[in-house]
Structure 1
């Protein structure tokens, strides 16, 4: 990319970042959301034009921030679209159930109508009245029988009215169900599109992180600086999370981690994947899950084994409940090809040992599988 194009990217990115800072102050909530979406799309397009080999470190950092924000935005939009689809689907299913119930009611009433038609053909109502009058044993009997026939006629009329009303409801419910299904289909299409956008954005993010990794690998002093900065940030994150007890979790490719390290985890996994290392494993665990591990690994459920026994005396070593970074979403136990990374000879361990610090992760020496933001 020419120097002119590079300068153009710098100027436009600076301008759009300024707009992003000012938009919430000069527009309403809806307008700000629309502006943010449009701005995110423009910034993403600009990142796509950036030549990673010629870009400055500041430009790469800005591009990473842009893509991280865009991925976060698309992740939220995917979740929202999936929620809208789920609600629309439930509404459509409920509408179809109501329609089916009314359809059954209509069928039952139609059967009664058919029976009435047969009865009227075999014994017309007027003929019944005449027969009643002619064969009544006494005037009072004739009156009683005629009253019965009137009741029966009113019942038949009521069935006709019920059928007419049920058919009207059925038509309304059928239209409601069709409308609900159309809304569900529209919501599903939007969710699929948002997910496709997210997948594309994550790939761009992975490409950018891979480029950054390459750049960092070429400049050892920059590598050390980035690792040091991440270590400082992560130490503050550990202390701050322990102090507040607030553990906001997000999902990153199946790992439940603290929201603050989601971009680091995404970058690490993407970079590993780009090098042919496909990592799996587990991350966050609750305090209750940590207690169960202590019981399983540390000799029993007595208070000493659960709460006091040193982690190194457990097999495998297991942190005391309340002290594990897994409980804060700040540690990951990695697997490779579906198996725990139990040896430092593993290709996955060797890749992590060479690269994980670039993303703020460090190994606990006694556990090749365990990587956290501070190495504990």
Structure 2
């Protein structure tokens, strides 16, 4: 019966990140720098809030878009942190993680054949969602612009079929962040276009060197932007599966319909934990961010000392050095590193063809793990 399966689904490949993570399971002695998952535990006060919700039997459906008090907390959080103004009543949806938020955003705005511009290299989760929604991915090659989608790169790619642009900064896999000048130039280009901007800001709390600013805060951008965010990275709540969308009411009312028939609502227990995270845990991300910054500096300095070519990330917890000089494909380099030094990284081609010639290193790991990983990488590149 497999021949009856939706061709769009059959065409989708398992994420290259997961492929390499599964492969590493066969090397129990390997140091893994693969997965972008915070190594900090969920803060205790958030877990206690979830326990209280269970004890109070708050285990029933919530309103489809989420608990009203949680939506108001989301509204207050982004207003206080980033100067964004979205009403909790009708401009916020609580989702099952940022991934589901992206899914409902794309399914709401795309029709068959619509083009969606993606900056490559890019996290592999976007393209399948675009295709499943009937869209056509169009890649912008950002390798020559420091891994950032600029207005100059974007303009020639805009066509009458362009329906949306995905911005994902801080970036996975590069850790790059758009500057205010780059955002202003992008906004100037898009203000007169009937194009949606889907801004994935899941790493917004993990920005090191410059204040974070959402493109939605710029004049003329709010009405065309769908902001995606969540608590997985900021509050180390990956398994709790809480994300959210922020968009004008006239867009949100349609996304709610997709969300309703997709999942009904996010987990009630996780929503009460999220309420605690966004209120009592308003600044929970700050000590984690400071630690990631130290790790960023350590890994950057080690890679630079090895002679590797790379851009210094301003956010998230990834770094994306070039390995082109070694004459190996990204997968060949990754496998050689794993087999010879027992160090696991992600090959750059997992992040589109524009990632070939690079590797992604996650520094969401403790200092001892990072030191072992860098020692193994250095040992190998010295031989090449």
TM range (shorter): under 0.3
Tell me the TM-score normalized by structure 2: 0.23
TM-score (normalised: structure 1)? 0.23
Higher helix share: 1
Indicate the structure with greater strand content.
2
Higher relative contact order, chain-length normalized (CA < 8 Å, sep 6+) = 2
**Could you say which structure has the larger radius of gyration?**
1
